[in-house]
Amino acid sequence: MRPHHIVPLLLLAALALGAAGREEQLQLTGFVPPQGFELRLGAGAVPAIEITKTSPERRLLAGIMAPVDLAWARTIIARGRGNGELDAARLAAVLTTGDNAWFALGQPIDLADGAFEAGLDLAGLRPTAYSADPTAEPSLTTYDSLWLGLVIDGPADARLEQATLSASDEPLRVPPLSLDPAAMAAAPLPHDGDLTMRAALDETEPDVGPVLRLDYDFAHPRHLYGFLAYPLEVDSLASYRSLRITYRAHLPAGVSVLLALQEQPGGQYVVAAPPPTPADSMAWQTVVVPLNSFELGSWSQDGNNRLDLDGSVALQFGAHGTANPPGEGTVWLAEVTLLP
């Protein structure tokens, strides 16, 4: 084979296999003094870490990182081995610049198999309650300090060994996550006082399984609204990119399907192009909605005018509009899946 033939072949091989991502191990310069728990460190370049915590209050085990430019990084990855009780711990980051600070929570630390790996999406950094400017954007190029470690919400008695922290330019790996229709049927139902609304689990759909059913009576000729508000208690919500929903609707003229995300506390973010309302009540529709397509409603207010997916967020799904003429309607929801 001639040498000038080798380069194209190597290029094709690289494209087929995918370019290797960048990952760099981070160095700790010390630990933040523990408060509310005991921390014991072993000897060596990668010391064993022993944690004892008896109280249920949230505490932070934080390592102080040597300052490096992390503008290229998308995630932080913790790896190691461990044993003992550490059932309510998640990877965490705190970034500080001047009078502003940001934090993010990552995936839980699972010691069930002895070895653990957990990630944190740096895009999930959001202002702390004590930030001087809640609208300031974090910079991973220049900053005063970066703490990486664990947020521990319950008792702990564990030993971590060979624990390392790395920065990576790869996105955080999360699997698709489907929400449970039965749990959603028990969610709160915020609605206008002139609207009658009911939620139930409908098990009469053999092709799609149990579905959530929302029944409405738009009895008054003015704009009315009603929706379920289901808290998205999801680890690493900021690592998901879109929302897939399968639904159908039979609604009065003038009434449309409503889809929104509500920060708690914070603003209500709605889809710029709402899901279409099927003309045929028997036709199921599946739509994929990018999470970055949700926009702050003109009637709503938010301190930083940005949807913070690493905080407390509720999914809102239902119907709204002015029925002309007034009448009854139903929306069925068969699937809600978060997609990475």
C-alpha to C-alpha distance for 137 and 313, rounded to whole angstroms: 20
Q: Which two tokens stand for residue 280?
A: 């045929």
DSSP assignments along 109-129, one per residue: P--TTSEEEEEEEGGG-EE-T
Please compute the mean of the pLDDT values over residues 185-200 and round it to a whole number. Answer: 96
Q: CA angle 125-127-130, nearest 5°? A: 145
pLDDT at 183: 93
3-state class of 26 per DSSP?
coil
Looking at per-residue pLDDT, the higher value among 186 and 273 belongs to 186
CA distance to 123, 163, 325, per residue, from 224 (Å): 36, 54, 13
Mean pLDDT of the chain: 88
Cis peptide before 34 (omega within 30 of 0): no
Question: Per mean pLDDT, which range of 69-78, 86-95, 278-287 is the poorest?
Answer: 278-287
Residue 278 DSSP code: P
Q: What are the boundaries of each domain within the chain?
A: 22-168, 177-339
3-state class of 184 per DSSP?
helix
Q: Which two tokens stand for residue 322?
A: 């002015």
pLDDT, tens digit, for every residue of 17-27?
A: 345 689 999 99
3-state class of 224 per DSSP?
strand
pLDDT, tens digit, for every residue of 258-304?
A: 999 999 888 999 987 778 877 666 788 999 999 989 999 988 888 77
Q: Which two tokens stand for residue 3?
A: 């040498």
Question: Per mean pLDDT, which range of 107-121, 149-163, 225-239, 318-332 is the poorest?
Answer: 225-239
Q: At the topology level of CATH, where does 177-339 sit?
A: Jelly Rolls (2.60.120)
pLDDT at 310: 67
Q: At the topology level of CATH, where does 22-168 sit?
A: Jelly Rolls (2.60.120)
pLDDT at 18: 42
The answer to whether the pTM exceeds 0.75 is: no
- 177-339 matches 22-168 in CATH topology: yes
Q: Which two tokens stand for residue 8?
A: 């194209």
Say which residue the tokens 């092709």 belong to: 207
C-alpha to C-alpha distance for 83 and 15, rounded to whole angstroms: 40
Secondary structure E strands in 66-176: 75-85, 89-97, 100-108, 115-121, 126-127, 145-152, 156-168
Confidence of residue 45 (pLDDT cuts 50, 70, 90): low
